[in-house]
């Protein structure tokens, strides 16, 4: 594989499993030194570090709860200190809490916004203090920002819609500095928590133009493209990779 990200320094939040782990491995495969946060499962985090290091790059796992703003800021600072800077920030950590509006708990509402929105802002604010021209910020949003085809997803959809406004505004703030910021908006992705089989999966496949789930590698590939040199003129965009879910 070519190494278009050779010697770049990246931080991926929520990088020990699922989409986040796939992103860490892909960035490492393209030559980037990678740090990532995790909130639990230190054994999984250690395995991801080993997988990245086997590709010849530096790798660092940082335990941090994305609902804690100070922990998010500290993770950015540690990345800068141990990798010598930061060129790429991938705001991947997120949660999906679903329920009817009649009994949706306020604490679940607050936790959703803390992780899916506030942590993105906090990490971005901390990272841009250290980024130079050519920096890349990539948020993992959701196609549900554009379409929510089932009941109970209002708060989740709202949290992902907020990222669209954030990148449009920050593209203006960061453009003069040569830093791009974009959202990647996946549709259904085959993960441990959202497998591509079962009653719910079959319902979503029928909504898609392509009747299948995305693979982890497909999402990671889009992130790697946005992090690379060929995507230098893309900013302020929310880009669907959803198999036609929102078509």
| Catalytically annotated residue among 156, 213, 225, 233 | 156
213 in active site? no
**Residue 193's pLDDT is what?**
83
For 31, list phi and psi in degrees, rounded to 5: 105, 0
- Contact in structure between 45 and 37 (CB atoms under 8 Å): no
Q: Residue 192 — very low, low, confident or very high, per pLDDT cuts 50/70/90?
A: confident
Q: Distance between CA 99 and CA 108 in Å, rounded? A: 10
Say if residue 9's pLDDT is above 80: yes
- Which CATH number fits the domain 9-241, given the four candidates 3.50.50.60, 3.90.320.10, 3.40.50.720, 3.90.79.10? 3.40.50.720
pTM of the model: 0.96
Query: pLDDT for 54-67, tens place per residue?
Result: 999 999 999 999 99
Say if residue 1's pLDDT is above 80: no
| Sequence ranges of the domains in the chain | 9-241
- Contact in structure between 61 and 41 (CB atoms under 8 Å): no
Q: What is the DSSP letter of 88?
A: E
Closest CA to 34 of 50, 18, 42: 50
Query: pLDDT for 62-88, tens place per residue?
Result: 999 999 999 999 999 999 999 999 999
**Residue 74's pLDDT is what?**
98
């Amino acid at each position: 594989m070519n190494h278009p990200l050779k010697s770049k320094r990246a931080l991926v939040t929520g990088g020990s499993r699922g989409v986040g782990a796939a992103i860490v491995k892909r960035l490492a495969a393209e030559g980037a030194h990678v740090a990532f946060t995790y909130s639990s499962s230190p054994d999984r985090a250690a395995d991801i570090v080993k997988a990245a290091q086997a590709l010849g790059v530096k790798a660092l796992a940082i335990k941090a709860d994305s609902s804690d703003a100070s922990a998010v800021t500290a993770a950015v600072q540690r990345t800068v200190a141990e990798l010598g800077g930061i060129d790429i920030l991938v705001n991947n950590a997120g949660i999906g809490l679903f329920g009817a509006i009649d009994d949706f708990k306020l604490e679940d509402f607050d936790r959703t916004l803390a992780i899916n929105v506030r942590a993105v802002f906090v990490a971005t604010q901390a990272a841009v203090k250290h980024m130079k021209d050519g920096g890349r910020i990539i948020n993992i949003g959701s196609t549900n920002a554009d379409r929510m085809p089932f009941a109970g997803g209002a708060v989740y959809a709202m949290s992902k819609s907020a990222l669209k406004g954030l990148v449009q505004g920050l593209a203006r703030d960061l453009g003069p500095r040569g830093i791009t910021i974009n959202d990647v908006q996946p549709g259904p992705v085959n993960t441990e928590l959202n497998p591509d089989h079962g009653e719910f999966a079959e319902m979503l496949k029928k909504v898609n133009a392509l009747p299948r789930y995305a693979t982890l590698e497909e999402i990671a590939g889009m992130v790697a493209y946005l992090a690379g040199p060929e995507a230098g003129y893309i900013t302020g965009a929310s880009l669907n990779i959803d198999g036609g879910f929102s078509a």
